[in-house]
Amino acid sequence: MSLLDAPPSYSAPSGADSATSSATPATPATCATPATPSRRLPPPPPPLLLPALNAVRGKRVILASASPRRRQLLSLLGLTNVEVIPSKFEENMAKTASPFEYVLATATQKAMAVYRQEADNTAKGEPRLIIAADTIVVSAAGDILEKPRSEAQHIHMLRTLRDAGWHKVYTAVALMAPLASARDPGYALETATEETSVQFDRDITDELLLAYVRTREGADKAGGYGIQGAGSVLVERIDGSFDNVVGLPLRVVLRLIEKVLPWIGLGFGTATGSLTVPSITCGPGGMIRCGADVDRAANRPALASTDDTIGFFDTSPHDDGDDMCRRAVAAARDWGKSCLDASRSCDCRSRVDRDAAAIPC
């Protein structure tokens, strides 16, 4: 079949023929084979036990994307009960901006559209975390390629990527979370953009490109191919993150979760000689301790002498769990200057270890 032959309708379901034969082929007779005993599948690996992931696991986490691939990737982090609410933001921004600016603005607008929609959801409550992403492919000529709109465009897109050799894949990730402090109502927003270079095999034939287009696998993907599926036969090599090409770089997502939830990991202060770098740590029962000696393995205050214990903050007993800790952290920040003044050897720093949130000085 030549490229001039009309492919099946682009709206046809994946794998459907353009015409259905009226003849039904005979089913060949088969010999009965004995049933084989089913094997028990090994249990899935346990989830990553990290403070940032534990803080959102079981909470209302929204993926502002209809992509099943992104949802599957999030499940690898142990976020299996993600609520899928595709953003209604129209991806029709002018492509005059740089690829970085274009993809980042699109991902940010997706996140904000869903946040505005769900922030006052009285039935389900305010989301703990919103995750949005946008992926684009940029040709060697600098053209931004998103999802193909027709089979003709799809074939042309893949030919362009093949003939040019290398191209770039950009995925922007935007995370939003409501602020814990009533002093600053609203949300926290953290974004990042990942870049991966991909090289197609220049020996790919037009016949192979047409066969791939007719699988419909790449019809809903930026650049028109899926590297995690049959589209891998088009790719010779990549330079960068594989899951970035799939549509969601997990390393970036995890880093942004830790940044957008500033009360996570606040217990990792460091001691430098006689100078104590202050930290705020969530303790049992919602207690907050301003000090330096921290049980790093348990992420809670360690037993320490009274000289090291600057102060404790308790919250209302009517609050529970993470909300207690969040409110207490906000209170501890407000009292941060007094905490520093009370320390006989405290060095006022702009941030504490592991990029935790700053204590106001």
Q: Using CA atoms, how far apart are residues 346 and 277, in angstroms rounded to an integer?
A: 6
Annotated catalytic residue, options 17, 134, 322, 334: 134
Active site residue 134: yes
**Rounded to the nearest 10 degrees, what angle do helices 206-213 and 151-164 cross at?**
140
8 Cβ neighbours under 8 A, 6+ residues apart: 16, 17, 18, 151, 214
Exposure class string for 245-282: b at 16+ Cβ within 10 A, else e? bbbbbbebbebbbbbbbbbbbbbbbeeeeeebbbbbbb
Q: In angstroms, rounded to a whole number, what is the distance separating the alpha carbons of residues 218 and 20?
A: 23
Backbone angles phi, psi at 193, to 5 degrees: -130, 130
SS3 253: helix
- DSSP annotation of 124 reads T
Element holding 332 (H helix, E strand): helix 321-334
Q: What is the DSSP letter of 19?
A: S
Provide the residue type at 329 as one letter: V
E strands, the chain, in order: 61-63, 83-84, 129-138, 144-145, 166-178, 187-200, 235-239, 271-272, 275-276, 279-282, 288-291, 294-295, 300-301, 311-313
**Is the backbone of residue 265 left (phi > 0), alpha (psi -120 to 50) or beta?**
left
Question: Under a CB-based contact definition with an 8 Å cutoff, are residues 201 and 235 in contact?
Answer: yes
Active site residues: 134
